[in-house]
Amino acid sequence: MKLIATSTADIDLKSLASFRDDLSDEFDIEVDENQIFLRSAEPPSWIQFLADAPWWLKAFGGYAALYVAELVKEAAKTTWAERAAIARKSKQTTKSLGRFARHLVNLRSSLPERSRLVIGLPIPDDHFGVRFELLGKDEDVLAAEIAVFVGFVPAIERLIELEGLKQGRVVGAINLLVTADMCLTVAWMDRETLTIQERMLHHQE
């Protein structure tokens, strides 16, 4: 099981290689050197980390449920930073999750300002995937976002199976968005109807 890092052509592969090497004693990360070339006036810039569900659950699953439970308690707080700071104090970040988030902070600092960090699953394929954008700029928020994603992975897998999304029913990516009350919106375009489909998952699922 590996975490595969793909990126657009503007990303310095040396930065990605350093990220991989710094974590190589604990995480199996592969940097895809075949970068994506996008032509437009201002082409998108991103790094996408995709791995199968077992990788995410083995790496962070034991801690995610506890962390998400604390975040849900603080859902009334106005910002991710507030929730993450409280959750971190209540349930100390595991060494693995904190370390991974800390290196993501370092990686982000080396990227173009507009670059996006995305984590997810290689479904429907390893190009588009199930995508969850990491918006955090500091370790606490990034750790919280990763924990929320991992906490939802089993429910995401069940939804994909229920909706048959592995069988060519999706155009493009399956996008994830966390709501203010810590639920997860899953959205995709249906290939047959070309309409956007949305489902809501709750943290207990």
Based on the number of CB atoms within 10 Å of its own CB, is 69 exposed (0-12), middle (13-18) or buried (19 or more)? middle
The pLDDT > 70 percentage for the chain reads 91
Under the banding of pLDDT at 50, 70 and 90, the label for residue 157 is: very high
In a domain? residue 134 = yes
Domain contains 194: no
Residue 185 lies in a domain: no
**pLDDT range class, residue 23, cuts 50, 70, 90:** very high
Spacing of C-alpha 179 from chain mean position:
15
What is the residue type of 97?
L
31 is a domain residue: yes
59/77: higher pLDDT:
59
Q: What domain range includes position 62?
A: 3-165
The answer to the question of residue 172 being in a domain is no
Task: Say what the pLDDT of residue 121 is.
Answer: 97
pLDDT surpassing 50 at residue 205:
no
* More confidently predicted of 78 and 110: 110
Kindly state the average pLDDT of the residues 130-139.
92
**Contact at 8 Å (CB) between 83 and 162?**
no
Q: Is the pLDDT of residue 11 over 50?
A: yes
Q: How many domains does the chain have?
A: 1
pLDDT of 87: 63
Model pLDDT for residues 169-180, shown as the tens digit of each residue: 899 999 999 887
Angle (CA) 46 180 58, round 5°: 55
Give me the mean pLDDT over the 158-174 stretch: 91
Q: Which residues pair with 7 in a beta bridge?
A: 47
What one-character-per-residue DSSP string does 44-87 give? --EEEEE--HHHHIIIIIHHHHHHHHHHHHTTTSSSHHHHHHHH
Question: Rounded to an integer, what distance in angstroms lies between the CA atom of residue 93 and that of residue 99?
Answer: 9
Q: Is residue 60 part of a domain?
A: yes
8 — pLDDT class (breaks 50, 70, 90): very high
Query: Over the stretch 81-109, which tens digit does the pLDDT of each residue have?
Result: 777 776 666 555 567 888 999 999 999 99
How many angstroms separate the CA atoms of 193 and 59, rounded? 37
pLDDT score, position 155: 93
Per-position DSSP letters for 18-55, written without gaps between them: HHHHHTTTT--EEE--SPBP--SSS---EEEEE--HHH
CA pair distance 160, 169, nearest whole angstrom: 10
pLDDT score of 114 more than 80? yes
Helix (H, G, I), strand (E, B) or coil at 131: strand
Q: Say if 179 falls within a structural domain.
A: no
